Chains A and B, each alone.
Chain A
Amino acid sequence: MEKLTLTVNGLAREVNVDPNMPLLWVLRDLLGLTGTKFGCGVAQCGACTVHVNGEALRSCVTKVSRAVGQQIITIEALSENNDHPLQLAWAELDVPQCGYCQSGQLMSAAVLLREKPNPTDQDIDDAMSGNICRCGTYPRIRAAIHKAAKMQQEGVKP
């Protein structure tokens, strides 16, 4: 067990943990941030995607010790008022079905949109194929990413 200090959504959080514990379970079970989801535990589904220093990481296979000293952002802090262009586009196009995968989808899409403000379908395939949606919302995710890109160009700030 080790005392570690994490920076999660801009706040310093202290945890006393096995440094090998995956970040996912620290977030969910110790810090109560349950927006980040568990789907597979082996970097296959993307449900657990969070941002670590702006990178989309699978928190289920990221040791908590690796996240020390880095900026961790979870879905709860993707935007202040659920108004990231992606969140707006998601709601506008009724993307979510069961919704379980959507935190991870949004976190992956947010990095894509930052890196490629005007993504092509190929860019979307490349960035989003690590995120499974069992409800099959892919066509709407694709459309919503394009829509968010447009909104961003029109001035909606992430």
Chain B
Amino acid sequence: MNRRNFIQSSAVLGGGLLISFTIPQANKLAALSQPTATSGFTPNAFLNIGADNTITVTLSHVEMGQGIWTTLPMLIAEELDVDLKKIIVKHGGPDKALNHTVFGVQITGGSSTTWSEFDRYRYAGATARIMLMQAASKKSGTDLKDCKAENGIVIAGKNKYTYGELAADAALLPIPERPQLKKPAEWKYIGKGNKRLDASVKTNGSAVFGMDIKLPGLLTAVVAHAPVFGGKVKSFDSTKAMLVPGVKQVVQIPTGVAVIAEHYYAAQQGKKVLSVVWEDGIGAQLSTVKQAAEYKKLAATDGLTAQKKGDAAAGISKSAKVYKAEYVFPYLAHAAMEPLNCTVRIDGDGCEIWTGTQLPAAEQASAAKILGFAPEKVKVNIPFLGGGFGRRATPVTDFVSEAVHIAKNSGKSIKMVWSREDDMKGGHYRPFFVHNVQVGLNSEGLPVAWKHNIVGQSIMQAATPAFGAPKTPIDSTSVEGVMGSPYLTQVPDHFVGLHNTEEVVPVLWYRSVGHTHTAYVMETMIDELAKSSGQDPVAYRQRLLADHPRHLAALNLVAEKGEWKKTLPKGRFKGIAVNEAFGSFVAVLAEVSIADGQVRVHKIDCAIDCGLAVNPDGVKAQTESGIVFGLTMALYGELTLEKGKLQQNNFYDYRIARMHESPEINVFIVDSNEKMGGAGECSVPPTAPAIVNAIFTATGKRIYNLPIANHKLIQQ
């Protein structure tokens, strides 16, 4: 490394020790290097130890509820040996040094933060600790082997130094190659109960979200968007809007017309009286009913081959019994609690942005392009995210670009705030999907032929701006969970096909992505096969999953803890499902009853194998969260379109599960030394199928299209 740069960087930060922990190549732990040239006005990925003993950890990923604000600092606290509670945490801005160690771009997503940073953050802590010990050894003339670092202090023979006292000296030392990490038996934080570091600021209103940004002279902008997807402004008249007290300016932008005012209320009042004539375009031809009919037709034909073995059609015609089903899944909105928003201030040839984003560098690049600035002239600040679920990882940077256009066209510093309605109607949905499945069974009731076609829009195609054009037309996010299903490995004749469709409605990853629909199809179909051949759904799965120990471990644990074999009181019914997603294996056991034509979910037991649970209570919290998310999706999740217009508006017609619908949830973590997976999404997929499998037991009715609320349920 270039020592001069390093020292300079350290000096800038007040004589402390600064450790950057860049991994230049994906997946490989390289020697630690000096902070790379910063892009923008943003800091590098680093751990900073100040002369005043402050320890600051900059996060390469963002906190949106999933708990990495705590987990990543834990990894450093563990190896550096400091008090976790005293660490100051902050989000990093766009910076190549913060790129995802596997995905190669800067992103928080794919339930990947903990496993992908497990080594990088631990080595960052370990490296600093060694350097501090070396500095203490030098300073005191004590042999290094007689130095010990513990709880923010290095004990060197008879001398004791705080880390802060050693920071400046340590910064001058060469960086060691590959320090020794602690052994699991020595862990104080990893695998133990750790409280969230952001809990208290989130209980007294002091946590700052994008929505809460305050700047001198900041105005609020709201946007009138095209009512039909793909629509454009033909003309507009702002006369009345400009008369509303507090309204300052009305400007056209590529995606609509923005009203800028002193505050949100005035801006909304202005928007109400703004008259815009829209050019609808081809989007007006899109209606959900028509779309479903078209997709069903396509699904009855073979798509591009995603996975194939033997001859599925021939296998089916030879089977003892054949089951056929067609499944329909609606578009879904993420509906994070904090409506999308973005603050932009343009100052001469520089621009500063404040927004909750999972894709900081993509936002920076888009803003720079719109403004004709170099990317490093755009600073992106990331406050807490009021939920993400994928919506704040939009490769086309829709809401940030919109805000930048408003600031550019108006010449004002603005906070663009979307109403709940804007947020819901703003597109970037979980795609509409149809599956057509045919399964042939042998005389024992086991699947021997499986033909499966999936129809829907490609998310990866939509992600091209940030991730490059897909290398194959088989978008794994459309077929994951069917392609690679453990059940299919047993089936000698099978085919998985994909039809990619194109629509004006933009689509996006939504918490657990393809698994939101594929797990539903696989786990309800397997259940149907088991029950129709008179077999116990757990025993049937155990038989088919015999060569899949991690699926089995989760399944067996939940069956045991949830007392699968025990008879429930009258009127209660149970269902089960198991699924792998994001490298974690989750089994869900749901207990339901039926009343007034609807289902009531009383209890969910869940077992998860995510490998090492770095922060076990965090894993539990995410698992609970995913279950409630899955419950909402199962019960209510549905967006519909008529003539290109989204029919839903707000939480009264796009319902979210509430307290009184939230079941008792018990999460059991499988004691596992297997490869680490993610915890943020994996409990979403098995939740809906476990619930509808219980509904089948109660009613004898199979639900082939979600949401459940569309079906009248009658207990048998």
Q: Does A67 reach chain B (CB closer than 8 Å)?
A: no
CA distance A73 to B237 in the complex (A): 41
8 other contacts beyond A30-B263, A34-B214, A97-B621, with CB at 8 A cut-off? A35-B206, A41-B419, A42-B651, A42-B652, A75-B205, A78-B204, A134-B336, A138-B658
Q: Does A14 reach chain B (CB closer than 8 Å)?
A: no
- Chain A interface, DSSP helix/strand/loop, else mixed: loop
Q: Which of A34, A92, A97, A128 contacts B205 (CB 8 A)?
A: A34
- Is there contact, CB below 8 Å, between B205 and A36? yes
Q: Does A6 reach chain B (CB closer than 8 Å)?
A: no
Shortest beta-carbon distance from A131 to chain B in Å: 7
Shortest beta-carbon distance from A52 to chain B in Å: 17
Closest to A81 in B: B204
Contacts A96-B198, A124-B659 given; does A76 touch B387 at CB 8 Å: no
Shortest beta-carbon distance from B325 to chain A in Å: 29
Shortest beta-carbon distance from B631 to chain A in Å: 8
Q: Does A136 reach chain B (CB closer than 8 Å)?
A: yes
Shortest beta-carbon distance from A113 to chain B in Å: 14
- Is there contact, CB below 8 Å, between A106 and B203? yes
CA distance A78 to B65 in the complex (A): 23
Contacts A34-B212, A78-B204, A138-B662 given; does A97 touch B628 at CB 8 Å: no
CA distance A136 to B208 in the complex (A): 20
Q: Does A137 reach chain B (CB closer than 8 Å)?
A: yes
Contacts A34-B211, A45-B651, A98-B386 given; does A76 touch B204 at CB 8 Å: yes
Interface residues of A in 134-149 (CB under 8 A from B): 134-142
Q: Does A133 reach chain B (CB closer than 8 Å)?
A: yes
Q: Which of B220, B245, B625, B665 contacts A135 (CB 8 A)?
A: B625
- Is there contact, CB below 8 Å, between A98 and B387? yes
Shortest beta-carbon distance from B626 to chain A in Å: 8
Q: Which of B195, B206, B631, B660 contacts A129 (CB 8 A)?
A: B660
- Is there contact, CB below 8 Å, between B384 and A99? yes
Q: Does B207 reach chain A (CB closer than 8 Å)?
A: yes
Q: Which residues of B contact A90 (CB under 8 A)?
A: 199, 203
CA distance A28 to B341 in the complex (A): 15
Instruction: List 9 contacting pairs A-B, 8 Å CB cutoff, sorted by A.
Output: A25-B263, A37-B386, A44-B650, A97-B65, A97-B625, A98-B386, A98-B388, A136-B629, A136-B631
- Interface centre among A34, A98, A101, by most chain B C-beta atoms within 10 angstroms, is A98
- Is there contact, CB below 8 Å, between B659 and A38? no
Contacts A135-B65, A141-B659 given; does A42 touch B650 at CB 8 Å: yes
Shortest beta-carbon distance from A58 to chain B in Å: 12
Q: Which residues of A contact B180 (CB under 8 A)?
A: none
Interface residues of A (CB under 8 A from B): 1, 18, 21-22, 25, 28-30, 32-42, 44-45, 47, 74-76, 78-79, 82, 86-87, 90-92, 94-103, 106, 124-126, 128-142
Q: Does B66 reach chain A (CB closer than 8 Å)?
A: yes
Contacts A22-B265, A39-B420, A132-B656 given; does A100 touch B650 at CB 8 Å: no
Q: Which residues of B contact A87 (CB under 8 A)?
A: 200, 203-204
Contacts A34-B212, A34-B214, A135-B337 given; does A99 touch B265 at CB 8 Å: no
Q: Which of A30, A76, A100, A129 contacts B658 (CB 8 A)?
A: A129
- Chain B, 405-425, contact with A by CB distance < 8 Å: what is the 0/1 string? 000000000000101100000
CA distance A132 to B652 in the complex (A): 11
- Chain B interface, DSSP helix/strand/loop, else mixed: loop
Q: Which of A91, A94, A99, A126 contacts B386 (CB 8 A)?
A: A99
Q: Does B264 reach chain A (CB closer than 8 Å)?
A: yes
Shortest beta-carbon distance from A34 to chain B in Å: 4
- Is there contact, CB below 8 Å, between B659 and A102? no
CA distance A132 to B657 in the complex (A): 8
- Interface centre among A87, A103, A138, by most chain B C-beta atoms within 10 angstroms, is A138
CA distance A96 to B201 in the complex (A): 10
Q: Which of A41, A82, A126, A138 contacts B420 (CB 8 A)?
A: A41
Q: Which residues of B contact A92 (CB under 8 A)?
A: 195
Q: Which residues of B contact A86 (CB under 8 A)?
A: 203
Closest to A136 in B: B628
CA distance A18 to B212 in the complex (A): 22
- Is there contact, CB below 8 Å, between B625 and A137? yes
CA distance A28 to B419 in the complex (A): 15
Q: Which residues of B contact A28 (CB under 8 A)?
A: 212, 264
Closest to B417 in A: A38
Contacts A96-B199, A97-B621, A97-B625 given; does A125 touch B659 at CB 8 Å: yes
- Is there contact, CB below 8 Å, between A94 and B617? yes
Q: Which residues of B contact A136 (CB under 8 A)?
A: 624-629, 631-632, 657, 662
Q: Which of B220, B263, B336 contacts A98 (CB 8 A)?
A: B336
Q: Which residues of A contact B205 (CB under 8 A)?
A: 33-36, 74-76, 103
- Interface centre among A18, A100, A125, A138, by most chain B C-beta atoms within 10 angstroms, is A100
Q: Which residues of A contact B204 (CB under 8 A)?
A: 35, 75-76, 78-79, 82, 87
